[in-house]
Amino acid sequence: MPKKYSYLLLLLLFACGGFYFYRKYNVPPTLDISKLNLVDLKGEAFDFKSLKGKKTMVCFSASWCGNCINEMNALMRIKNTELQDVEIVIIDDEPMENVINFKTRKNYPFTFLKLNQPFPNIRINSIPVTYFYNKNLELKNDEVGEIEWLDPSIREHYKQVMN
């Protein structure tokens, strides 16, 4: 094979690898959250459909994730003033004891749920990942990475998304 084609092949391989990793870590997977095996902190099955009638944010997070904690701290600061009509659900795949201890220690007012399988099994490869639903539980948007909730323009954007 001529050297010119070797470089083109190598360039194509790098481009495909870059695309693969970009999609894996920067694009939220398409999920039907109502079909996930979720339990509340009492160990009881959680039915996502119970949230119908509420604007809902579902955040995949973990107690060890700095960006997740930053985002939850910001959400806690604005929950009762700016997001009082939004149900915030935190889904964690850590052991139940860790999830309970984390929620208790931080005193977060959110609904915490335990996913009964590791995040990578449902193609969550980077956290935080947030899904936004309107009152009919229709998915309106999704984001990978920490959202700057204390920025009023960003906050207004996501509030409008859930309408």
The dihedrals phi and psi of 108, each to the nearest 5 degrees, come to -75, 140
Cα dihedral across residues 107, 121, 51, 56: positive or negative: positive
- Which of 156, 160, 132, 159 minimizes the C-alpha distance to 144? 132
Assess contact for 140 and 132: CB atoms under 8 A: yes
The dihedrals phi and psi of 156, each to the nearest 5 degrees, come to -65, -40
Per-residue pLDDT of 33-80, as tens digits, reads 888 999 999 999 999 999 999 999 999 999 999 999 999 999 999 999
CATH superfamily of 31-161: Glutaredoxin (3.40.30.10)
Please check the confidence at residue 25 and state whether its pLDDT lies above 70. Answer: no
Per-residue pLDDT of 103-138, as tens digits, reads 999 999 999 999 999 999 999 999 999 999 999 999
3-state helix, strand, coil in the chain (%, to 5): 40, 20, 40
Average pLDDT for the chain: 88
pTM for this one?
0.84
